[in-house]
Amino acid sequence: MPRNGSGIYGPPPGTAAVPNTTIESADYNAVVADMSQALTESVNVGGTAPFQANQSMGNNKLTAMAAGSAAADSANLSQVQSDIVAHATAVGGTVDAVTATFSPAFAAYTAKMRFRFTAAGANTVVAPTVNVDGLGVKTIKKLNSVALAVGDIGGSGHICDCAYNGTDIILLNPALAPGDRANTYMAKQTFNGPLVKGTTTLADAATIVWDLSTGSDFQVTITSNRTLGAFTNGMVGQEGILRVIQDGTGGWTLNFSNAVYDFWGPSIENIARGANDVTEYDFKVLSAGSIFLKRRGSTSIREGGRDFLDEKTAAASATIDFVLTKWLQLYDRFEIDFDQVLAATDNAELWLRTSTDGGATYAASASSYQWRFDRVRNNVGDSNSSGGDIRINLISSDVTTGLSNVAGETAEGTVKIYSPAVTTAPRKITWESINYPANAGSAFNFVRGVGIRDTNADVDAIRFLLSSGNITSGAFRLFGVRK
């Protein structure tokens, strides 16, 4: 062989010429053949023939290399340092449908390939695309293929660092969200500093516009009688403060009559009307079309307590109904106080039924309820119960202990409904009552009872009714209780 393992050339043994000696053709031809092979295997500096095998540089450098310009070229150190070939040489299309051209061009999309381009503007849609070197349109996403938010490509000059995951182009450096752009979190976030809640000033107008996406707390100074328009862009669970300020004249009203507003208790929408007076409300958004307001000075919507919610007054009423749907997620239990209840029919029973469909229907099958009560009648105790009934019997007519229809001989008491929003049976109910019974021989009845609604559903409405006849008169007051 012409070269040894270190690459040093030497002629074949026995081919050296001897002075004054005829050269043998075989020896001469062996040297020529060996040299021809050595030259063939040497580096061709003209580049007219390629290497036939991998080459070792022996820990030496290739120097004075030109920058590579084709995909199969070698790169010099300057190109590697700048990574310039991974940046698009031209960007076209639109801000939401980008075309990017590279030099050298990419041959195909390959999983984990990485490149950059300089954006011409911010994306205006959540699914912008990029087409690299005409290889096909790919959607630009972020994180683990989460859709972009509008503005994640931050605008003209944003250098977008991208990687291909085999399906989508992942934007590795979305723009930081400005303070006026909402973030959508996919998991619970932990903040290591205080959360600052700003106050947004609403514009005074005949109908005040209230956009809940513009802040946490809000205030408006009114200069005449005003109406609060329906809120917009509220997020379910959003809470804050609405502050209403009278101007230096005062005396103005604020109309909350829009159906999206509801209150804890009657007339709570009244605002202070003195000059420069301030009225504050806690608010909580329950849905896109429902918000609760509570004037400050009574129990906060974020604290425990017994909140007065509603009142019904009987006037020859067949039923007294309370629909609980709008309060269901806010309270741990409901309490209903009834006072001065008088029956139209002597010895009528006072019943309770519940609904699971917002009061459209009330359960009345023989297996809907179970109940039991203990009773004291003129210091004599007895009890009654049912293991399956069409109602919960709050005041029974057995032994002539039902409601009276005589003026002044009324019934009073309190009913408690526990965990009304829970949808697994049973829903527990307790009550206490006292009444002057239809039986003239008894002075009073005192009842303490328990019952259940034996159905896998919530209790979102309740109904009071009598076993016969109407409720002549009486007041029923609904309260919500939070822990």
DSSP string, 59-92: T----SPPPP-STTS---HHHHHHTGGGB-SEEE
The pLDDT, as a whole number, for residue 300 is 35
Q: How far apart are CA 460 and CA 241, in angstroms?
A: 28
Comparing 271 with 79, the larger pLDDT belongs to: 271
Say if residue 269 is in the same domain as residue 343: no
The pLDDT of 309-334, averaged and rounded, is: 89
Say if residue 239 is in the same domain as residue 383: no
Is the pLDDT at 177 greater than 60, yes or no? yes
How many beta carbons lie within 10 A of that of residue 116, not counting itself? 17
For the stretch 383-428, pLDDT in tens is 999 999 999 999 999 888 899 999 989 999 999 999 998 988 899 9
How much of the chain, in percent, has pLDDT values that exceed 70? Answer: 91
Is the pLDDT at 73 greater than 50, yes or no? yes
Cα separations in angstroms, 472 against 307, 343, 351, 406, 412: 27, 5, 15, 10, 14
Task: Name the helix (H) or strand (E) containing 36.
Answer: helix 25-40
Domain limits at 234?
Answer: 199-295
Task: Tell which residue, 283, 259, 279, 281, has the closest CA to residue 271.
Answer: 279
The pLDDT, as a whole number, for residue 455 is 84
Q: How far apart are CA 110 and CA 144, in angstroms?
A: 17
424 belongs to a structural domain: yes
Is the pLDDT at 159 greater than 70, yes or no? yes
Say if residue 326 is in the same domain as residue 468: yes
Say if residue 312 is in the same domain as residue 273: no
The pLDDT, as a whole number, for residue 181 is 62
Cβ-proximal residues to 52 (8 Å cutoff; 6+ apart), any chain: none
Is the pLDDT at 448 greater than 80, yes or no? yes
Q: How far apart are CA 352 and CA 389, in angstroms?
A: 11
Q: How far apart are CA 283 and CA 302, in angstroms?
A: 10
Lowest mean pLDDT among 294-308, 325-339, 442-456: 294-308
What CATH number should be reported for the domain holding residue 359? 2.60.120
57 belongs to a structural domain: no
For the stretch 91-143, pLDDT in tens is 999 999 999 999 889 999 999 999 999 999 999 999 999 999 999 999 999 99
For the stretch 266-275, pLDDT in tens is 545 568 778 8
143 belongs to a structural domain: yes
Task: Name the helix (H) or strand (E) containing 27.
Answer: helix 25-40
Model confidence band, residue 41 (pLDDT cutoffs 50, 70, 90)? confident
Model confidence band, residue 301 (pLDDT cutoffs 50, 70, 90)? very low
How much of the chain, in percent, has pLDDT values that exceed 90? Answer: 54
- Residue type at 477 in one-letter notation: R
The pLDDT, as a whole number, for residue 14 is 74
Q: How far apart are CA 303 and CA 139, in angstroms?
A: 47
Q: How far apart are CA 127 and CA 129, in angstroms?
A: 7
Mean pLDDT comparison of 47-51, 253-257, 347-351, highest-scoring range? 347-351
Q: How far apart are CA 289 and CA 457, in angstroms?
A: 24
3-state helix, strand, coil in the chain (%, to 5): 5, 40, 55
Q: How far apart are CA 42 and CA 272, in angstroms?
A: 100
Counted domains in the chain: 4
Max CA distance (Å), the chain: 162
Nearest 5°: the CA angle 284, 288, 291 is: 30
Say if residue 418 is in the same domain as residue 457: yes
Q: How far apart are CA 223 and CA 250, in angstroms?
A: 8
The pLDDT, as a whole number, for residue 417 is 96
The pLDDT, as a whole number, for residue 302 is 40
For the stretch 226-265, pLDDT in tens is 999 999 999 998 999 999 999 999 888 888 889 898 886 5
Say if residue 348 is in the same domain as residue 417: yes
Say if residue 354 is in the same domain as residue 290: no
The pLDDT of 341-364, averaged and rounded, is: 95
Model confidence band, residue 180 (pLDDT cutoffs 50, 70, 90)? low
Task: Tell which residue, 330, 196, 349, 193, has the closest CA to residue 264.
Answer: 330
The pLDDT, as a whole number, for residue 267 is 44
Is the pLDDT at 39 greater than 80, yes or no? no
For the stretch 14-26, pLDDT in tens is 777 788 888 888 7
Say if residue 21 is in the same domain as residue 89: no
Ramachandran quadrant class, 355 (left: phi over 0; alpha: psi -120 to 50; beta: rest): beta
Asked whether the beta carbons of 252 and 235 are under 8 A apart, the reply is no
Residue 474, beta-bridge partner list: 314
Strand residue runs (E) in 378-460? 380-389, 392-395, 411-418, 427-435, 445-453
The pLDDT, as a whole number, for residue 414 is 97
Say if residue 235 is in the same domain as residue 366: no
Asked whether the beta carbons of 433 and 380 are under 8 A apart, the reply is no
35 belongs to a structural domain: yes
For the stretch 181-190, pLDDT in tens is 666 667 767 7
Long-range Cβ contacts of 59-65 (<8 Å, 24+ apart): none
- Residue type at 86 in one-letter notation: A
How many beta carbons lie within 10 A of that of residue 321, not counting itself? 17
Q: Which of 295, 314, 329 is the last residue of a domain?
A: 295
Q: How far apart are CA 382 and CA 370, in angstroms?
A: 18
Residue 334: both structure tokens together:
């409901």
Say if residue 464 is in the same domain as residue 345: yes
68 belongs to a structural domain: no
Asked whether the beta carbons of 313 and 287 are under 8 A apart, the reply is no
324 belongs to a structural domain: yes
182 belongs to a structural domain: no
Residue 13: both structure tokens together:
């043994």
- Residue type at 383 in one-letter notation: S
26 belongs to a structural domain: yes
Q: What is the mean pLDDT of the chain?
A: 87
Q: Which of 254, 273, 295 is the last residue of a domain?
A: 295
Phi, psi angles (nearest 5°) of residue 80: -65, -45
Residue 52, beta-bridge partner list: none
Torsion of CA 373, 378, 381, 383, to 10 degrees: -30
- Residue type at 430 in one-letter notation: T
DSSP state of 31: H
Say if residue 337 is in the same domain as residue 475: yes
Is the pLDDT at 349 greater than 50, yes or no? yes
> How far does Cα 459 stand from its chain's mean position?
26
Report pTM. 0.48
Handedness of CA 70, 76, 77, 78 (dihedral sign): negative
Is the pLDDT at 463 greater than 60, yes or no? yes
Say if residue 98 is in the same domain as residue 167: yes
